[in-house]
Structure 1
Amino acid sequence: MITRGSLIGKIVDDFSSLKHQLDTRNKLGFTDLSLFCEDFIKEVLNITFNLNLKNLNQIRSNNPGLDLGDTREEIAFQITSTNTSKKVNDTLNKITSQQKQTFTKFKILIIGKKQSSYSIQTNTIDFIINRDIIDLDDLLKSIVILELDKLNTLYNLFKLEFRSVKIELEIVDKDGNFESSYSNIAETIPNSPPKNALKYLQERGKDYDKSFSEVLDLYRRLSRVPKISRELLFYIADRGKMQNFNSHFSIIPEILERIFRITQKELIVDINILENEGMVFINDGDIDGRSVPQVEISDEHLNLIFHHLVYNNESIRTLLNTMDFTILDEEE
């Protein structure tokens, strides 16, 4: 069971991260908030204060005026990362007569840190600076004293959506890159195809061009497969069976499940990836007359390359992990 301290720690850490990110954005002049971020804050406020806030502005966020409102509690919020007196005054001056009839309490939530003092112009609503301008630190003070069930609800909200909020606030450079982009963690596509594969193909016979083209195609398809899925091919060859020296490597799935200590469902993910690229298929094997499914390496060249490597005491696993197919080449 997650302790109260762990729940609060996660929320405090995430808010601290959010404040740092917003401070960086504001210094660079990026003060807009997306509707997604606004919706996330809405849920935090609803859980923390037992509200039923709804979006009042579905067109775009960061407009002067009110963003969220709860007609039952007669309370409305402007959500902004801009902490200036001008922003506060613009918000208050934009509140309409209809909104004043609907809401009696008005709050400005600074997503970041508020100023130490504000200069507010005379207005016709009940608005007290120290009470009605709040920031993330003020919000946290209300959160840390919540009962455990609400803390759990907030914790689950942060766990599910906070990463998306952070991504929404990341600055995109001129090339379309941002810090959490999958392109920063995606595997690099291998680029060491064979130049002639003559160690494997043996000679430049009449079928050489066709065979070499097929090997290049195999390389391209293998390059699209994630490294962890490619490694499955090694274990099929290393721990599996073959009928004779030139036959296809195959293995029963249960062996792979035990080797990797994974479930059948997890194993099927990698098998599907490999099957999609024409590397393996599920075939019917036989154990003492019983029909048993087995995973078989289906690509003819891949089987023969594995046989070639075994015969020459070279590592199948190294080839699959490095994807350096130039080891199949002869110097010309």
Structure 2
Amino acid sequence: MLTRGYFIGEIVDEMANLAGQVRMRNALHLFDLTVATENFFRDFLNIVLGASLKNLNAERSNEPGLDLGDESMAIGIQVTSSATTAKVNHTLEKITADQASKYKRFIVLGLNKRQQKYVIDQPLATKYSFTTDEIWDLDTLARKAIDLQIDDLQALFNLVRSNSARVRIELEVPDENGMYPTSGYEMWEQRVKPKVGDGAAFSRFVEERSGDAPDGELIQKALNKLGKDLARLPRLTREFLAMLYERRERGRSRRFGDGWEHLLLSKVQREYRGDDLEGELEILRHAGFLEVNGEDKDELGAPEIGITIPTKSDELQIDFVCFVDEMKLGFRNVIGSANLSAF
């Protein structure tokens, strides 16, 4: 069982990690913050303060003076990477009459370490009832987290655990070539390059079974399209489809005709241990490889998943499974690796 001490330790450690990245950015005069960073601290502060802060920049780009606001609690907050005296005074100067009518308490949250001493513009401080106690840093947030009730503390822990990695990425420092340690491009799965045969082997197979020679040109075009269709699927989805073929039911379907294999939906739901069955089914349904029939039980019996090859070639749709089985190619190779070279 996770304890209060564990929650606090993880939150404090993550605040320290973020503070280290902010110091590095400030040393390089990188003071801008992304909307994602502002939103993280919005959600963090909402838990700590029991507030309903909104990102004011989402409604109006670069809202003067303030980034976050909760009109019901009359709190306005500026989130900045460096809460220097100049920044604090600048924030107070930028508060508009409209903001002053909505908010009675103003906080400056600096992601850097607080200065030991601030020289605040006294007329502005008096006008907005502002004191240096309202200049916060990440240590302030950590101290306030310690005082939370256990349910709020766990909610804060879940927020930090789920979002701090993204915030750290947002705060990364580029190298001398302007490149960042973490690349969004590298987070995308590389698409497989399909291997496609000339269709001759499959055409011979079809002719031997039916006695009629198929249209070789049509077979070739259909195989090229199938290779591209498979390559567009995420790797895990191709492997999911390969397993559907491996675990297909024997005998005729009650719901699907020629060119379709089938599985019981309930059996797939029990046997599949991934965390996004509906997502996999939806991707394959959209790509034309799959349909679900009978989700509302009727006289035809249990709901079924039907799988097929989306193609204009009747031969490829009907004889695909037989060819893979009789040639001992394996669905994990043909579908999982988009390898149609034996066709």
TM-score range, shorter-chain basis?
A: 0.7 to 0.9
Q: Indicate the residue corresponding to 1:306 in structure 2.
A: 321
Q: Compute the displacement of 1:216 (Å).
A: 1.0
Q: Compute the displacement of 1:82 (Å).
A: 1.9
Q: Indicate the residue corresponding to 1:212 in structure 2.
A: 220
Q: Indicate the residue corresponding to 1:188 in structure 2.
A: 190
Aligned counterparts of 1:262 and 1:51: Cα–Cα separation in 2: 37
SS of equivalent to 2:122: coil
Match of 2:264 among 243, 252, 273: 252
SS of equivalent to 1:202: helix
Match of 1:281 among 288, 291, 299: 291
Q: Mark the runs of 5 or more structure 1 residues left unpaired by the alignment.
A: none
Query: Which residue identity is paired with 1:306?
Result: V
- 1:115-167 per-residue CA deviation (whole Å, 9 max, x = no partner) reads 4x4462652336665x3432101221222132323323433544666566556
> Pairwise mapping of residues 1-332 of structure 1 onto structure 2 (< 5 A)?
2-34=2-34, 37-49=37-49, 59-61=60-62, 63=64, 65-67=65-67, 77-94=77-94, 107-115=107-115, 117-118=116-117, 120=119, 123-124=122-123, 125=125, 129=132, 131-158=133-160, 165=167, 179=182, 181=184, 183-202=185-204, 207-243=215-251, 248-261=260-273, 267-282=277-292, 291-299=301-309, 301=316, 304-328=319-343
Aligned counterparts of 2:293 and 2:71: Cα–Cα separation in 1: 63
- 1:249-272 per-residue CA deviation (whole Å, 9 max, x = no partner) reads 333233333432479xx5444333
Q: Compute the displacement of 1:172 (Å).
A: 9.2
- 1:42-91 per-residue CA deviation (whole Å, 9 max, x = no partner) reads 4533543456767777534485x455567887765432112433323433
**Residues 230 and 47 of structure 1: CA distance in aligned 2, closer, same or farther (over 3 Å):** closer
Asked whether the 8 Å contact 2:85–2:120 carries over to 1, the reply is no
- 1:163-194 per-residue CA deviation (whole Å, 9 max, x = no partner) reads 6655665679999999373x433322221331
SS of equivalent to 2:322: helix
Asked whether the 8 Å contact 1:283–1:293 carries over to 2, the reply is yes
Aligned counterparts of 2:336 and 2:305: Cα–Cα separation in 1: 20
- 1:76-113 per-residue CA deviation (whole Å, 9 max, x = no partner) reads 54321124333234334556789889877654321232
Query: Which residue identity is paired with 1:294?
Result: E
Aligned counterparts of 1:56 and 1:310: Cα–Cα separation in 2: 61
**Residues 40 and 282 of structure 1: CA distance in aligned 2, closer, same or farther (over 3 Å):** closer
Q: How many residues align?
A: 317
SS of equivalent to 1:79: strand
SS of equivalent to 1:120: coil
Range that drifts further, 47-56 or 183-192: 47-56
Q: Compute the displacement of 1:24 (Å).
A: 4.3
**Residues 295 and 113 of structure 1: CA distance in aligned 2, closer, same or farther (over 3 Å):** same
**Residues 141 and 247 of structure 1: CA distance in aligned 2, closer, same or farther (over 3 Å):** closer
Determine what percentage of the aligned residue pairs are the same residue: 28
Aligned counterparts of 2:72 and 2:280: Cα–Cα separation in 1: 52
Aligned counterparts of 1:255 and 1:74: Cα–Cα separation in 2: 55
Query: Which residue identity is paired with 2:15?
Result: F
Cα RMSD (Å): 4.4
Asked whether the 8 Å contact 1:67–1:79 carries over to 2, the reply is yes
Query: Which residue identity is paired with 1:259?
Result: E
Asked whether the 8 Å contact 2:56–2:68 carries over to 1, the reply is yes
Q: Compute the displacement of 1:238 (Å).
A: 2.7
Aligned counterparts of 2:337 and 2:159: Cα–Cα separation in 1: 41
Q: Compute the displacement of 1:25 (Å).
A: 3.7
Range that drifts further, 30-39 or 131-140: 30-39
Range that drifts further, 230-239 or 168-177: 168-177
SS of equivalent to 1:271: helix
Q: Mark the runs of 5 or more structure 2 residues left unpaired by the alignment.
A: 208-212, 253-257
Query: Which residue identity is paired with 1:26?
Result: N
